[in-house]
Amino acid sequence: MYSQLTVLAKRVLSYPNRILFPGPFWVKVSIVPAWWHTWNEDRHIWLLHLQDRYAYGHIFGPKGNVKKGEYYQVWPRTVDSLNTWTTTDISVHAHMRRVLNHAFSENALRGAEAFIQTNSYEDWIGPINMADQVTYLVFDILGDLCFGRCLDMKETNRTLRHKPDMVIGFMELLHPVCAAELVTRGLDRLLAIATLPAIENWGNFVENCRESRSERQNELDESGTGSELLVIAGSDTSSTVIAATFFYLRRTPHVQKLQSCKYLTVFIQEGLRMALPVSAEPSREVLKGGTVVSYSPKGSMVSTAFWAVQYNQDYHPEPLKFRPERWVTGAAGSTKESVALSESAFYAFSMGSRGCVGKNMAWLEMRIIGAKVIWKFEFEQDMFNKLGGGTVHGRHGRHQEGQYQTYEISVSSRKGPVYLNERA
């Protein structure tokens, strides 16, 4: 209760003009509504509802005077275990990003294609939970790429198959904690305040000596945390979209007869739009000088709900309808102008300097896996299992049977089977 009152006082007293922003009153002065929807893993759906009623047209861009918020500081194992996702320091992120860019160059991706081809599929047949199977598949691919060894999660007797569920469980636990705006790394800060100057100086001296002798170790630590990020984030995002794409594919049987790489690409793109890999909005802290959203002063937290943007009917007409044609000029109901409008609001991989470094790798994975599975198998509806879609009597946002359901745990959790028959 004390912490909630502290946050309330901070919100109102530090920035009294907050009350002038559009939106429900209690959302402006309390974190409880947002936290409640975070706990229920439907915050992205709630934000879509708020967007339709209150949202500004545009508040996010690569030149915004912002940095990542404190939300991200909770995720690392220690204050020093940073990667491009968790670091809030702009200069540190720029250094890490330059290193990772080499791993996703055109030459590197050309070499990675062999690993994706090798692991593309097993002898899937019958009713299969594609959310699980694709997760195992992408983990195997990224194990090969990041550590030089396939994890063999596709094999039914592997002991590592529980690891993805552990990652999901960890994120389900920690994401609501991060969203509660609790003080992060509080013990570190308390010790720093209470430490005597002489002890602090000695600690700085020892730390400087250690750093001068351990540059190589720091490089290894950075490589390790970077690899962890690539395996976990890469497997989660790619598997979400691939599973969603197969979900929609079994509901559009005529598409399985098409033989066009271009159509495969826009089919995946529409799957990306409707099942955004990261459903949580990216938290940003306004820097000195403020930023313009009716004006937000230094220290304010702002964000753009990318998942909600993908369902904004001003940019994507009939947003709840799976229409790959919306991305093809000249296709049914699509013009050059409508395609450009949809493209302008497509943020599947974020944007700017914080955009996904593995975007091209993800596209390579999705295209190869999608093409090979569609080439080998036919997709059918499992009449006895509708897991994956909404339910007619579900609450608002969960009632569309033809919409692949995702659950916000920072990234998007998901479920869903499909019935596969090998092509004759």
Q: Would you list the DSSP string of 224-282?
A: HHHHHHHHHHHHHHHHHHHHHHHHHHTT-GGGGG---HHHHHHHHHHHHHHT-S--SPP
Q: Which of 278, 294, 218 is nearest to 72 (CA)?
A: 278
Cα 268 to its chain centre, rounded Å, is 16
**CB-based contacts of 1, cutoff 8 Å, min separation 6:** none
Q: Which residues pair with 132 in a beta bridge?
A: none
Specify whether the CB–CB gap between 276 and 308 falls below 8 A.
no
**CB-based contacts of 306, cutoff 8 Å, min separation 6:** 276, 278, 281, 282, 347, 348, 350
Specify whether the CB–CB gap between 129 and 416 falls below 8 A.
yes
What is the enclosing helix (H) or strand (E) of 144? helix 130-147
The span from the CA of 168 to the CA of 412, in Å, is: 9
Q: How many CB atoms lie within 10 A of CB 360?
A: 16
Is 356 annotated for ligand binding?
A: yes
Specify whether the CB–CB gap between 112 and 365 falls below 8 A.
no
- Hunting for tokens 């470094």 — which residue is that? 357
Q: How many CB atoms lie within 10 A of CB 84?
A: 22
Specify whether the CB–CB gap between 320 and 403 falls below 8 A.
yes
Mark out the alpha helices in 2-105 (DSSP H runs).
2-14, 25-29, 32-39, 43-54, 90-103
Residue ranges for the known binding site are: 356
Instruction: Indicate the annotated binding residues for heme.
Output: 356
